[in-house]
Each structure stands twice: as C-alpha cells, then as structure tokens.
Amino acid sequence: MNTLTLWFHQFGSPPIFHRVTARLSPWLYASATLIGFIGLYGGLVLAPADYQQSDAYRIIFVHVPCAWMSLFAYFFMAINAFIALVWRIKISEILAMASAPIGAVFTAITLATGSIWGKPMWGTWWTWDARLTSELVLLFLYVGVIGLYNAIEDRRQAARAAAFLALVGIVNVPIVHFSVTWWNTLHQGSTVRLLGPSRIDSSMLWPLLLLALATHVWFFASVFARARVSLLELESGKDWARSAVLGPGAAHD
C-alpha cells in the first residue's frame, strides 16, 4: 500500500478524521477570515471604480467567489457521493451530505447578488437567461439532495439515496460553467482565466482571487465542522465518540 492510499484509509477512519479536522478547523476559519478581510478591503476600498459601471461593479467581489464556490461545492459533493456509492466509505457519505447545505447557501447568495447587480445593469431583477436559469437549477438540486437525505430515517441509506441524486445532477455543473459560451446570453463571459491572460485589471484581480481563496478555505472549515457533528451522531454508541464529547474517561464509565 503506497503512502497516498495509506493516508486515504487512515483519514477515512472516524476517530482520526474527527481528531484531525478538529485541529484544522480553527486554523481554517482564522485563515479564511484574515484572507477575506484583506480581499474585501482590496476590492471595496483600494480597487478603482469601473469606467462603465462605476462603483456598482464592486458586487462582483461577493458574487463571483460565491458563484465559483457554488460549482466547486457541488463537484466536491459529487466526488464524495461517487466514493460513498462505490466504496461505501462512511466519511465520504458524511462529507457529501455536509457540503450540500453550504453549497446551497453559496448558490443562493450568487442568485441574490446577481439579481441586485442585474437590476441597474439589465433593468430587471430576473430574466430566464441560460446562466441564471442553470444556476437556479443548481440550487434546486442542492435542495433536492438535502430534502431526500432528511426524508429517510436510516442515515446511511439516506446518504446513499441522496448521493445518487447528487451524481445525476452533476451534468448541470458544466452547463452552468459553459452556458455563456454555448448560448447567446445577457450574462457576460468569463473575465478571469486560469490559462491565458485575464480580461480584468490587476488592481481588481488580486482582491477577487483572495476572496475566492477565502471562500474555499471557509468551505472546508464549515464542511469539516458539520461532518464532525454528523459523525458523532452516527457513532454515538462507540467509545471514541463518547470520549470525544465527554472526555477521555467517559468511554470506561
């Protein structure tokens, strides 16, 4: 067994997962807060006004990172759903279900901020644009996964059923991403590119990238926090879980 496989199996152990993430989460929250503050200051204070949209464009420093996170969170959920269905790994079931509410929140913020920006730019709060519609479908998928998971009493059976729905819905992720390329939409095309030069001034780009990093770090901190709670509920009858909640001596009481 190579080092990566060994680490994967060890991290999949409930006691080790709980112990490692409990140590990581405070550092992740603190890092996300610091990076996010710097990014917001850079975007809302230091970055110049846009020559066409003036200061109204600054909503992108919230809208764009949340939009990226709405897709990343679903991809993360689907990957863990696949692992859970194929290898029956309990931690992956928990991570998939823990990421769904967080992804739904990012998606809802994306839609709300997009509507706020769209009103002065397009003259309407909502239009059935390809990007907006597919993003709304993404929110419905998140809500569907959450609803199905909570509709079944057996937690592991519920997680597997919801994981299947998550995998079916993964087809919508590339539709959201490429909608502005595949169809003629009101929504502007991508201005930040991983390959090739970005079509955005560097004074606006660095705060945007910092905020994107902050949301990703915050996502993992939140997923780990939710996953630990779910894991303790699922493993409540085991000695390690009682020790984690009540202290080292609780398992022997």
Handedness of CA 191, 182, 72, 195 (dihedral sign): negative
pLDDT of 193: 63
Using an 8 Å Cβ cutoff, are 94 and 11 in contact? no
Indicate the pTM of the whole model. 0.91
Model confidence band, residue 56 (pLDDT cutoffs 50, 70, 90): confident
Exposed/middle/buried for residue 33 (C-beta within 10 Å: 0-12, 13-18, 19+): middle
Name which of 51-55, 155-159, 174-178, 196-200 the model is least confident about: 196-200
Q: Percentage of the chain with pLDDT > 70?
A: 86
Is the pLDDT confidence value at 171 over 80? yes
Using an 8 Å Cβ cutoff, are 67 and 110 in contact? yes
Output the average pLDDT for the chain: 88
pLDDT digits (tens, 9 = 90+) for 210-250: 999 999 999 999 999 999 999 999 988 788 887 877 766 55
Residue ranges of domains in the chain: 58-186
246 three-state secondary structure = helix
Region 193-198: what's the mean pLDDT?
A: 61
pLDDT digits (tens, 9 = 90+) for 68-127: 999 999 999 999 999 999 988 899 999 999 999 999 999 999 999 999 988 888 888 888
Is the pLDDT confidence value at 160 over 80? yes
